[in-house]
């Protein structure tokens, strides 16, 4: 094959292809392909290599640009993070430290001192800085416990860069024993040239170890439906400061109806006023509780302080005490009266005869046979040798009075709703200063046989205990003196008509048992006797001219304590009194409150005349007007 001369055509293969496409001779040449040339094949090969080279150049440039972008982004993030946390003039709450120092455990009612330290580690000053501490709603102001102190807030102004500001806060914090109190602390500030407000928050925890007020409830664990029941509430102040507006709020179960209380019942609350540190108050609540057999009733009592003296709901609750009472249905209902009085909390006096009456009623729908009622009497205040009964039997070995079919035939078979009765008497011993809590207990036990649900006789029993407190006695005496005594007297003895003579009247009071509070003695002077005004002794003596009453405020008596007071009177006998011993003062009466028995007590003394029997050398003629 001859060798083709080299082509001098410098046109591209693409241009030659275009010319052939539009050349009219292209059809003829197409029928005679030149197998010796391979330009078209070479052209296609050449174009593909050029295209591939261009693609590789574009890909390499994009990869370089992308890598540069990633590196730039990472560098920017690093610089921004560094500036944010460490550098420049940036402001961060992380550069502000709020430290709170103080006790972590307190007794409720204590003054809590807190030290607040704010440190600015920012490179710029903090503007309009303020600190705020929120206290519980029960918190009070130091020095004025009636004023709430729910929040401490202070505008600190400007805090320079690197500066520390310290503030002291004091508050009286209350709460229940075991309660954890969290104090939120908030610090806010701004910066120059910015409207943003930055806030730094923290908390301070306190644990309350004891409560300022405690309450306990004492009552029967079981009672009979419809029978009187007594609950004794003991409230005590454990605080170091006086607590005002103390209130005990009761939540009574369904079926309870209060009948009496030692402290007035305001709705379901007891208002106790102000309690001093260490004060203790006792509340006796009596009522009837009705319900189904085996039903459990729960009493809730909450002690706290109210916002006002008349409020019945505690604004601050310190302690809640529950008492659960189970209701039992009696098969024989026993009514108990002492000295003719039916009371859930009776009180008797020492050194006197006491009378007990009982009645028994069958509450079942069937008869009770061989009914036996026994009353065991116990207590340091009982003279066991004085127990006597006419319709029962007294077993001296165990101090039990028994009523049965042997003593009362009605008890051999007690029909439904049928009743029987029994009684006995006993003496209480004289009061003794050594006996701090004289009382008498009556344990009433009932037994019998009834026909059960399966028509089989079965034995039924029940018991009930009644405790009676023995009130103390205060021995009161009144005596007239002239030549002796704590006040010097004048005038003739024996007294003479129309001539004044003065006498000293001496009161003596001796507590023979438990402590007595608020004892007072009073007596009335006759119209012909003048109150001289001289007094001496324990307590204070006053005189009311309108009623002619002399009153001695003797105050409180400790257990077995005594007191004496004296005052002077003057008499100018009239001719109509010649040959008589005129009365200088009428009967004296003492009243007081028995702290143990929880009742008012009284005592009396005879009138006083010119008979000065305690004067040395006294003779009966010395008292007769001459």
Among the listed residues 603, 594, 518, 602, the one whose alpha carbon sits nearest the alpha carbon of residue 559? 594
Q: Can you tell me the mean pLDDT for 424-442?
A: 81
**pLDDT confidence band for 11 (50 / 70 / 90):** low
Q: What is the CATH number of domain 332-471?
A: 2.60.40.740
Q: How many residues does the chain have?
A: 626
User: What number is the average pLDDT over the span 59-79?
Assistant: 71
Residue 41 confidence (pLDDT) above 70:
no
Asked if the model's pLDDT at residue 56 lies above 70, the reply is: no
Domain positions in the chain are 93-208, 214-328, 332-471, 474-623
Mean pLDDT is highest, among 49-53, 243-247, 345-349, for 243-247
CA-CA distances (angstroms) from residue 318 to 184, 199, 247, 298, 577?
Answer: 22, 34, 11, 19, 68
Q: What is the rounded average pLDDT for all residues in the chain?
A: 84
Alpha-carbon gap, residue 461 to 331, rounded angstroms: 8
In the predicted model, what is the mean pLDDT of residues 183-209?
A: 89
What confidence category does residue 344 fall into, taking pLDDT thresholds of 50, 70 and 90?
Answer: low
> What's the pLDDT band for 414 if we cut at 50, 70, 90?
confident
Maximum mean pLDDT: which of 101-115, 323-337, 555-569: 555-569
Architecture of domain 474-623: Sandwich (2.60)
- Position 43 scores a pLDDT of 46
Q: What is the pLDDT of residues 454-507, one digit of tens each?
A: 555 666 666 677 888 888 888 999 999 999 999 999 999 999 999 999 999 999
Residue 401 has what pLDDT? 94
CB-count burial class (<10 Å; 0-12, 13-18, 19+) for 107: middle
Residue 422 CB: number of other CB atoms within 10 A? Answer: 23
DSSP state of 331: S
Q: Note whether 507 and 476 are within 8 A (CB).
A: yes
113-167: per-residue pLDDT in tens? 999 999 999 899 999 999 999 998 778 888 887 688 889 999 999 999 999 999 9
Average pLDDT estimate for 291-296: 78
> Under DSSP, is residue 577 helix (H, G, I), strand (E, B) or coil?
helix
Report, as an integer, the average pLDDT of 592-597: 86
Q: Looking at residue 502, what DSSP letter applies?
A: E
**Rounded percentage of the chain residues whose pLDDT exceeds 90:** 46
| Alpha carbon distance 540, 554 (integer Å) | 7
Instruction: Tell which residue, 7, 94, 73, 71, has the closest CA to residue 42.
Output: 7
The residues near 280 (Cβ < 8 Å, ≥ 6 apart) are: 234, 235, 236, 237
DSSP-derived 3-state class of residue 328: strand
Q: Tens of pLDDT along 362-404?
A: 877 778 888 888 999 998 889 999 999 988 999 999 999 999 9
DSSP code at position 268: T
Choose the weakest-confidence range: 8-17, 316-325, 343-352, 435-444.
Answer: 8-17
The answer on pLDDT for 412 being more than 80 is yes
Judge whether residue 196 has pLDDT over 90. no
Burial 29-48 (b: 16+ CB within 10 A, else e): eeeeeeeeeeeeeeeeeeee
* E strands, 209-315, in order: 213-218, 222-224, 228-237, 243-251, 256-261, 265-266, 269-275, 280-289, 296-305
Q: How much is the pLDDT for 101?
A: 92
Identical topology for domains 93-208 and 474-623: yes
Across 104-118, 403-417, 542-556, which has the greatest mean pLDDT? 542-556
pLDDT of residue 502: 96
Which residues are 414's β-sheet partners?
368
Asked if residues 562 and 512 have their Cβ atoms less than 8 Å apart, the reply is no
* 3-state SS track over 420-443: EEEEEEEEECCCCCCCCCCEEEEE
Q: What percent of the chain has pLDDT over 70?
A: 83
Q: Which residue has the higher pLDDT, 39 or 427?
A: 427
Is 50 exceeded by the pLDDT of residue 1? no
Q: Can you state the angle between helices 13-22 and 39-85, rounded to 10 degrees?
A: 130
Residue 409 is classified by DSSP as G
Hey, what CATH topology would domain 214-328 get? Immunoglobulin-like (2.60.40)
Could you say which architecture CATH assigns to the domain 93-208? Sandwich (2.60)
More confident site: 288 or 530: 530
Note the pLDDT of residue 444: 86
Q: What is the pLDDT of residue 40?
A: 46
Kindly indicate the confidence band of residue 231, based on its pLDDT and cuts at 50, 70 and 90.
very high
**Residue carrying structure tokens 């009522």:** 287
Q: pLDDT tens digit string along 300-318?
A: 999 988 888 899 998 888 8
Q: Which residue has the higher pLDDT, 87 or 479?
A: 479
Residue 1: Cβ-neighbour burial (10 angstroms; 0-12, 13-18, 19+): exposed
pLDDT tens digits along 169-186: 999 887 767 778 899 999
Helix (H, G, I), strand (E, B) or coil at 324: strand
């Amino acid at each position: 094959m001859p060798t083709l001369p080299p082509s001098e055509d410098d046109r591209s293969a693409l241009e030659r292809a275009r010319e052939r496409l539009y050349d009219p001779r292209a059809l003829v040449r197409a029928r005679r392909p030149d197998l010796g040339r391979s330009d078209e094949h070479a052209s296609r090969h050449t174009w593909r290599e050029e295209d591939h080279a261009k693609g590789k150049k574009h890909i390499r440039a994009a990869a370089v640009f992308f890598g540069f972008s990633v590196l730039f982004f990472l560098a920017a993030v690093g610089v921004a993070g560094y500036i944010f946390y460490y550098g420049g003039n940036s402001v961060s709450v992380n550069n502000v430290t709020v430290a709170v120092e103080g006790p972590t455990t307190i007794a409720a009612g204590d003054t809590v001192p807190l030290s607040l330290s704010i440190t600015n580690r920012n490179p710029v000053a903090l503007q309009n800085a303020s600190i705020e501490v929120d206290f519980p709603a029960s918190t009070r102001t130091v020095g004025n416990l009636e004023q709430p102190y729910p929040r401490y807030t202070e505008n600190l102004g400007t805090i320079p860069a690197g500066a520390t500001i310290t503030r002291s806060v004091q508050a009286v914090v209350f709460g229940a024993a075991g309660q954890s109190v969290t104090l939120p602390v908030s610090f806010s500030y701004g910066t120059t040239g910015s409207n943003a407000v930055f806030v730094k928050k923290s908390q301070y925890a306190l644990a309350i170890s004891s409560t300022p007020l405690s309450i306990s409830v004492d009552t029967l664990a079981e009672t009979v439906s419809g029978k009187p029941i007594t609950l004794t509430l003991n409230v005590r102040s454990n605080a170091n400061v006086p607590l005002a507006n103390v209130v005990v709020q009761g939540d009574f179960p369904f079926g309870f109806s209060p009948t009496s209380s030692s402290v007035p019942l305001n709705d379901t609350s007891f208002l106790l006023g102000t309690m001093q540190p260490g004060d203790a108050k006792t509340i006796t609540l009596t009522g009837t509780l009705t319900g189904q057999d085996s039903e459990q009733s729960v009493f809730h009592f909450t002690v706290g302080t109210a916002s006002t003296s008349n409020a019945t709901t505690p604004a601050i609750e310190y302690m809640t005490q529950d008492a659960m009472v189970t209701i039992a249905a009696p098969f024989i209902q026993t009514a108990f009266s002492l000295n003719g009085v039916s009371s859930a909390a009776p009180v008797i006096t020492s050194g006197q005869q006491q009378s007990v009456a009982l009645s028994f009623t069958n509450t079942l729908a069937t008869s009770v046979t061989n009914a036996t009622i026994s009353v065991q009497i116990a207590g340091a205040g009982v003279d066991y040798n004085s127990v006597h009964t006419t319709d029962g039997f007294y077993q001296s070995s165990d101090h039990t009075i028994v009523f049965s079919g042997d003593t009362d035939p009605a008890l051999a078979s007690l029909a439904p709703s049928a009743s029987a009765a029994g009684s006995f008497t006993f003496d209480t011993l004289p009061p003794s200063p050594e006996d701090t809590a004289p009382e008498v207990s009556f344990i009433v036990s009932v037994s019998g046989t009834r026909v059960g649900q399966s028509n089989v006789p079965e034995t039924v029993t029940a018991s009930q205990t009644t405790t009676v407190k023995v009130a103390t006695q205060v021995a009161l005496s009144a005596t007239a003196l002239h030549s002796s005594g704590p006040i010097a007297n004048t005038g003739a003895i024996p007294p003479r008509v129309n001539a004044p003579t003065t006498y000293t009247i001496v009161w003596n009071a001796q507590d023979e048992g438990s402590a007595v509070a608020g004892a007072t003695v009073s007596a009335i002077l006759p119209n012909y006797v003048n109150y001289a005004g001289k007094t001496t002794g324990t307590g204070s003596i006053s005189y009311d001219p309108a009623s002619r009453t002399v009153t001695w405020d003797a105050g409180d008596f400790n257990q077995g304590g005594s007191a004496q007071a004296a005052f002077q009177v003057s008499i100018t006998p009239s001719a109509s009194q010649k040959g008589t011993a005129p009365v200088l003062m009428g009967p004296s009466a003492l009243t007081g409150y028995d702290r143990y028995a929880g009742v008012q007590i009284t005592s009396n003394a005879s009138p006083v005349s010119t008979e000065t029997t305690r004067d040395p050398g006294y003779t009966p003629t010395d008292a007769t007007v001459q």
